[in-house]
Amino acid sequence: MDIYFYNTLTRKKEKFIPIDNKEVKIYSCGPTVYYYAHIGNLRAYLFMDNLRRVLEYNGYKLKHVMNITDVGHLVSDSDEGEDKMLKAARRENKDPFEIAEFYMKAFLKDIDKLNIERPEIIARATENIDVMEEYVKKIIQNGYAYETEDTIYFDTSKLDKYGVLSNRNTEEQKAGARVEFDNGKKNTTDFAIWIKAPENHIMKWDSFFGKAYPGWHLECSAMGYKYLGDHFDIHTGGMDHIPIHHENEIAQSKGFCGHIPANYWLHVDFLQVNGGKMSKSLNNLYTLDDLEKRGYEPLVYKMFNFTSNYKTPINFTFEAMDSAKIALNRLKEGYITHNNGTDNVSEETIHEFDQRFLEAINDNLNMPQAMSIVWEVVKYQNKSKKLAELLKKFDKVLGLDIDKTNTASIMIPEKIIKLAEERNDARKNKQWQKSDDLRDEIMKLGYQIKDTTKGYEITKI
Ligand code: AMP
Ligand code: ZN
């Protein structure tokens, strides 16, 4: 069956045609390892996992590269602000290399907990400085860069067009070209690709330009080229990468080899919290550990993410997490019930579910639609091992470990969950007597309900 992806480059949903029919080549922009990943960052990698699994489900082998930015990413995506790694090093009074090592491990632990398949190649920027240097030299040779006292800039005025992803018009580019900067930069859209390191700069390498370090955008172009060649299938990243980081990657690639490196550019939208931005100052920035402390196992967060398509923003609330927790338990229960079932289910029924699920995931990873088919299977009146097998097959895409029963409240019967939800509604409506009565009823049936700051937890007595 054909696969369709929304391609930011063409602003259309397009049929996916791989360059090589057997192996799909993907590059994903990875984390800057200067702090713990928050759950918004993790949405980006859940999307990456979803994409991998859908392609594998369709029979493709993958060669997938993800970078780890452990050098040279400034606080702003353009050439402004402090270096994130150096800032963190100062904050924690540590060497930036130690910072990178520590937070990279924390990141990998998080993605493992979420059952995010690791890309075949995880490439650290600091281990590929030589590749980046060669890449810059070629850009210079090809006439797409100029040198100031302390920086080598990419000259965007040499391109046929800058801003192909965000579709900026050439007028804007020309307007940019008229600006003159004190530091010798010629056009607003020009960006640093190789930077001379000040004396006290810790992360620096000997190079043709003296002791220097690479610009952030360069690492993705150079490492993409090293592992995947100058032309590969899919490039992924967050929405925030569209206007600067990915435009600059495309610019570099044009300067290096004359063309855009990837055919399909896929971008995941943001996670919001209570309808707004997630930020430390609003005290609503959560890590996976924070969720675990509040009683949500990591895969509940994955389940929650399937309630929206990656192309739309998703709103994080603890109420939604409570629903996802209940849903994950129901899914696991549904699997067990079918697995113990002896009813008959026709091959046509199985085939129909199978096809509809495939159609949904192949339609630009339409996970809400795919989940609705999963629920139809779970709720199917005839209970059969064949349907359990089908759910297990779907789980290759979901990666929710539906056959593992390690969830604390996994065996909580449907009836108890219903009563708990009724009680939750009663509490919300301040019907205290009703809420107490329901709690007693739940107790009599052998379960205890504990209210948490953001919801409730059910345990067996
Ligand atoms: P960084 O480590 O800061 O480079 O970010 C890693 C990834 O997380 C990037 O792909 C960002 O686009 C993505 N990201 C950052 N904040 C959010 C958010 N609130 N929701 C979804 N993705 C995000
Ligand atoms: Zn990148």
Tell whether 40 is covered by a domain. Answer: yes
CATH number at residue 335: 1.20.120.640
Chosen domain end from 247, 268, 289:
268
Tell whether 287 is covered by a domain. Answer: no
Whole-number pLDDT of residue 260: 97
Tell whether 191 is covered by a domain. Answer: yes
242 lines ligand 1 (CB under 6 A): no
Tell whether 220 is covered by a domain. Answer: yes
What domain range is 77 assigned to? 4-268
**In ligand 1, which atom is closest to the CA atom of 269?**
21
44 lines ligand 1 (CB under 6 A): yes
345 lines ligand 1 (CB under 6 A): no
State whether 64 and 148 are in the same domain: yes
User: Length of the chain, please?
Assistant: 461
Whole-number pLDDT of residue 316: 96
State whether 144 and 114 are in the same domain: yes
Q: Which amino acid is present at 274?
A: N
Distance CA 76, CA 62 (A): 32
Tell whether 31 is covered by a domain. Answer: yes
Whether residue 299 has pLDDT greater than 90: yes
State whether 259 and 321 are in the same domain: no
Tell whether 254 is covered by a domain. Answer: yes
Q: Whose CA is nearest to atom 10 of ligand 1?
A: 238
Whole-number pLDDT of residue 216: 87
Whether residue 169 has pLDDT greater than 90: no
State whether 148 and 129 are in the same domain: yes
Tell whether 276 is covered by a domain. Answer: no
For a mutational test of ligand 1's pocket, the pick from 38, 67, 240, 286, i.e. the residue with the most ligand atoms closer than 8 A to its C-beta, is 240
Q: Which ligand has the shortest distance to the CA of 73?
A: 1
Total domain count, the chain: 3
3-state SS of the chain is: CCCEEEECCCCEEEECCCCCCCEEEEEECCCECCCCCCHHHHHHHHHHHHHHHHHHHCCCEEEEEEEEECCCCECCCCCCCCEHHHHHHHHHCCCHHHHHHHHHHHHHHHHHHCCCCCCCEEEEHHHHHHHHHHHHHHHHHCCCEEECCCEEEECHHHCCCCCCCCCCCHHHHHHHHCCCCCCCCCCCCCEEEEEECCCCCCCCECCECECEEECHHHHHHHHHHHHHCCCEEEEEEEHHHHHHHHHHHHHHHHHHHCCCCEEEEEEECCEEECCECCCCCCCCCCCHHHHHHCCCCHHHHHHHHCCCCCCCCEEECHHHHHHHHHHHHHHHHHHHHHHCCECCCCHHHHHHHHHHHHHHHHECCCHHHHHHHHHHHHHCCCCEHHHHHHHHHHHHHHCCCCCCCCCCCCCCCHHHHHHHHHHHHHHHCCCHHHHHHHHHHHHHCCEEEEEECCEEEEEEC
State whether 40 and 68 are in the same domain: yes
State whether 222 and 339 are in the same domain: no
Whole-number pLDDT of residue 412: 65
Give Rg (Cα) of the chain: 25
Average pLDDT over residues 298-323: 96
With bands split at pLDDT 50, 70 and 90, how would you rate the model's confidence at 201?
confident
Chosen domain end from 220, 247, 268:
268
State whether 106 and 166 are in the same domain: yes
* Chain segment 245-281, per-residue pLDDT in tens: 999 999 999 999 999 999 999 999 999 998 888 876 7
Whether residue 113 has pLDDT greater than 80: yes
Chosen domain end from 217, 249, 268:
268
Q: What's the 209 CA to ligand 2 centre distance in angstroms?
A: 23
Q: What's the 424 CA to ligand 2 centre distance in angstroms?
A: 44
State whether 192 and 261 are in the same domain: yes
State whether 335 and 354 are in the same domain: yes
For 85-94, 151-160, 257-266, which range has the lowest pLDDT when averaged over its residues? Answer: 85-94
CATH number at residue 151: 3.40.50.620
Average pLDDT over residues 213-238: 96
Whole-number pLDDT of residue 438: 95
Whether residue 313 has pLDDT greater than 70: yes
State whether 383 and 455 are in the same domain: no
State whether 95 and 57 are in the same domain: yes
- For 22, the token pair is 């057997």
State whether 226 and 322 are in the same domain: no
Tell whether 291 is covered by a domain. Answer: no
For a mutational test of ligand 1's pocket, the pick from 32, 41, 239, 249, i.e. the residue with the most ligand atoms closer than 8 A to its C-beta, is 41
